[in-house]
Structure 1
Amino acid sequence: MGWRIQLSGNPFGTMVAVTAVVLGVLGLVMGDGVSRGMTNSLAGHANLIAHLWGAMFAAGGALTLYGLYTRRVTLELPGLYLVTGGYAFYCLTVLVGLGSHGLAAGVISGGLTVGSLLKAHAISERARRVQDGASGGTEAVR
């Protein structure tokens, strides 16, 4: 199946994962320069943590994309959990580090956290139903 067909089938999930890769690479390369909120909230440790967060976030986005486009939920699911953690961490550090000045970024990343977690939960539930035979064994995991 071509990537364009896949993209049209899940444009939002694709962009959530692509954004995680882009932000993750920026964090990995730039360290604490990637986010003033992260720098403020993690005083003294922000640089190392930003590099680690970036690596985890980029890896999660890449796994999510790969799993999504190859239809391998065994890769997409751990990727989604890493993406969830990346967005949640960013949400918290922006809100703590910038206070009311970080509300927009915090709310957006908080929403992406919840969305990623809900998608991971939905995939897990469908996989359990298939495994338990509740669907008669014909339902796909996706």
Structure 2
Amino acid sequence: DGALFPYADKTLTQVMAGLNTASVNSMKISAVAGSKDERIANLILDGEAKLADEEMKAAWLLNQSEAYFYSQVLPNKVMANINDSIEQHAKDHYYTKAIEEAKAAKTYFGNAPELNKKVKDLIVARSEYILFSTVTEQSVFD
């Protein structure tokens, strides 16, 4: 399915995060030194074709790291934050709120199997909580 081993994924994520940091630093330098395309053109015109090629490759690599960050790292971090919130609500027995958040995540991320399972599990947990609380007379639900 194209998934990497956890250690490989972690290493790749760390490398891409480092490249993303380098990208930000490069943009800051470019803002001071002028645009990258002008710099590369000037390098070529000054007979520095090898350096221009290295600059071009570095720019491509930085763009790749940025694309990886926005397509892989950021969505995973967002999903982790959402999962933390859902788990906290479930732990506090706010099952309806947890279900609403899981459904909102489904709206954004689509019908991912883990989200579908999470919604079903939360509905079951809410039902069990209501039944147990009613039977033990801890709470009365309308």
Q: Shared fold (TM-score greater than 0.5)?
A: no
Q: Radius of gyration: which is bigger? A: 2
TM-score bracket for the superposition, by shorter chain length: 0.3 to 0.5
TM-score norm. by structure 1 comes to 0.35
TM-score norm. by structure 2 comes to 0.35
For CA contacts below 8 A with separation 6 or more, give which structure has more relative contact order: 1
